[in-house]
Amino acid sequence: MNYRIVQGTEHIKIEDVIRLLKMTYWADKRPVELIEKSMKNSDCYGLYLDNIVPLVGFARVISDYATTYYLCDVVIDTEYRRKGLGTALMSYIESMPEYKGLRGVLITRDAQTLYQKFGFEVLNDRAMVKQKRD
C-alpha cells in the first residue's frame, strides 16, 4: 500500500481531521473550535494513500522539545485499519529528530500493542511512557 506522510497543518484539511476524530471514542464529541486550536498548538502529521483523496491517518505531538513529548489523537480511518498504517505513522513520528532522547507520553485504552513496538510501556490501564534515552 503506497502512502505519504505530511507534516504541518498547511498540508492537512481541518474537515478531514474532524471526520477522523468523529471515529474515535476520545474525541468524537470534541467541538470544532477545540480541534482547530489543538492543531494550531501542536505538531500535526497526516497520512494519505496515493489513490485516496481524503486523509486516512492523523496524529498530534505536543512537546517542550527538551524533556517530554505527548503523543495524542493518533487515528486511522476505520476503513483502513489493520493494514500497517498506524505503524507507518508512528515510525515516521518516532524518527523525527526533535523527539529523539525525549520521554514520550500517551494515553490509550486499546492500542498498547502498537505503541509497545516503539518502546512505550504501560503504566496503568491507559497511560504509557517511553523513557528518555540519552
pLDDT of residue 21: 98
pLDDT at 4 over 90: yes
Q: Is 114 exposed, middle or buried (0-12, 13-18, 19+ CB in 10 A)?
A: middle
pLDDT score recorded for residue 66: 96
For the cut 90, the answer to whether the pLDDT of residue 81 exceeds it is yes
What domains, with CATH codes, occur in the chain? 3-130 (3.40.630.30)
* Mean pLDDT, all residues of the chain: 93
Please give the model's pTM, rounded to 2 decimal places.
Answer: 0.92
Higher-confidence position of 70 and 51:
70
pLDDT-derived band of residue 133, with 50, 70 and 90 as boundaries? Answer: low
Contact by Cβ (8 Å): 75, 23 = yes
Share of the chain above pLDDT 90, in %: 84
- 88 falls in which pLDDT band (50, 70, 90)? very high
**Residues 11-58: tens digit of each pLDDT:** 999 999 999 999 999 999 999 999 999 999 999 999 999 877 799 999
Strand pairing class (3-7; 43-49): antiparallel
What residue type is assigned to position 2 of the chain? N
* Closest C-alpha to 9, from 54, 41, 51, 49: 41
Contacts (Cβ under 8 Å, ≥6 apart) of 47: 3, 4, 5, 6, 55, 56, 57, 58, 76, 85, 88, 89
